[in-house]
């Protein structure tokens, strides 16, 4: 199972269960004078059915952040068509942009540039000291500098490649360089 899809399902399910639980607590104490579409719990927290749309949007972004445009590798196009993922087919795919979907854009970029899962031979603090990341929203430009040792490793080459591949499915420009830290 993909961590994004499982995480999205857990996120949405738990928020809806919590919403209903809080309503039942309030409704029991108020003899159903409270409306399920909008109410306040005992601590004064506001609940509103409009929040469910926000929960669904966030869950959709979490689930979608690991879905990629189909290529013809291993018959993926046919599989995507079987599952009606037409928006991920090459002819219909639109790059993910910060302007149109900021949360999904941030999740995709962050998941790609997050180094701790890629450089398992290093402690997280050491890896973070060997990588510098800058992003300009104005120019929509991601600049990453990587320590020479990381850059020259097999994991480093894959990391650099994945950062450049962001340009294929996200509306972003990238540049990666090695440097001495």
Burial of 121 (0-12, 13-18, 19+ CB in 10 A): exposed
Q: What pLDDT, on the 0 to 100 scale, is given for residue 125?
A: 74
- Residue 152 pLDDT more than 80? yes
Give kind and range of the element (H or E) at residue 133.
strand 131-136
Tell which residue, 146, 149, 170, 172, has the closest CA to residue 160: 146
Which of 71-80, 137-146, 152-161 shows the lowest per-residue confidence on average (mean pLDDT)?
Answer: 71-80
Write the pLDDT tens digit of every residue in 10-63: 999 999 999 999 998 888 876 556 688 999 888 999 999 999 999 999 999 999
- Cα angle, residue 7 at apex, residues 115 and 119 outer, rounded to 5°: 15
- CB proximity list for 17: less than 8 A, separation 6 or greater: none
């Amino acid at each position: 199972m993909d961590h994004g899809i499982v995480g999205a399902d857990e996120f949405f399910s738990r928020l809806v269960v919590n919403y209903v639980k809080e309503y039942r607590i309030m409704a029991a104490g108020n003899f159903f004078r409270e409306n399920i579409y909008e109410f306040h719990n005992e601590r004064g927290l506001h609940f509103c059915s409009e929040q469910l749309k926000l929960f669904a949007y966030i869950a959709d972004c979490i689930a979608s952040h690991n879905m990629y445009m189909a290529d013809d590798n291993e018959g993926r196009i046919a599989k995507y068509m079987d599952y009606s993922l037409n928006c991920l087919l090459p002819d219909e795919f639109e790059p993910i942009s910060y302007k149109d979907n900021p949360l999904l854009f941030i999740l995709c970029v962050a998941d790609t540039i997050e180094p701790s899962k890629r450089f398992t031979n290093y402690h997280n603090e050491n890896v973070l000291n060997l990588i510098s990341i800058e992003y300009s929203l104005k120019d929509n430009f991601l600049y990453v500098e990587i320590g020479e040792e990381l850059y020259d490793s097999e994991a480093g080459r894959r990391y650099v490649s994945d950062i450049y591949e962001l340009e294929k499915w996200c509306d972003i420009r990238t540049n990666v360089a090695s440097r001495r830290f």
